[in-house]
């Protein structure tokens, strides 16, 4: 991890901009479908997607040492993902998660916007 951070500093990029493989990332269209199902009382798939997303974001927090989650509840994160997926239905939850992480960092002034990819 130290090597990744050092390399990021040398390249002038954020660790969030590095290309990674996200295993288990479902599509935004699936997220939208299951969020609608939850509104109709069928919550299991929405809960699974939500749990994956929170775990993914928690991994970004742990890996980066930047706790952008502080003071933000899961439902607020899910609403941000709803907005991302509405605008980007062909993307997946990993990409949505990175977008949410960036938004939260900007909102909380954790990093300067110019350092984000």
- Residue 24: the pLDDT is 54
Q: What is the mean pLDDT of residues 99-116?
A: 77
32 lies in some domain: yes
For tokens 């929405």, what's the residue?
A: 46
9 lies in some domain: no
- Please provide the average confidence, as pLDDT, over all residues in the chain: 77
Number of domains in the chain: 1
52 close to 100: Cβ distance less than 8 angstroms? no
Greatest distance between any 2 Cα atoms in the chain: 50
82 close to 96: Cβ distance less than 8 angstroms? no
For tokens 């239905």, what's the residue?
A: 89
Domain with 68, as residue range(s), is 22-115
**Residue of 113 and 45 predicted with greater confidence:** 45
- Residue 111: the pLDDT is 67
């Amino acid at each position: 991890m130290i090597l990744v951070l050092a390399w990021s500093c040398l390249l002038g990029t954020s660790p969030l901009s590095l290309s990674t493989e996200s295993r288990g990332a479902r599509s935004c269209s699936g997220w939208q479908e299951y969020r609608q199902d939850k509104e109709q009382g069928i919550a299991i798939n929405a809960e699974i997607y939500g749990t994956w997303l929170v775990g993914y974001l928690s991994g970004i927090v742990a890996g980066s040492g930047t706790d952008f989650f502080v003071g933000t509840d899961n439902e607020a994160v899910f609403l941000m993902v709803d907005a991302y997926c509405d605008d980007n239905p062909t993307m997946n939850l990993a990409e949505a998660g990175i977008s949410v992480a960036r938004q939260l960092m900007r909102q909380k002034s954790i990093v300067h916007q110019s350092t984000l990819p």
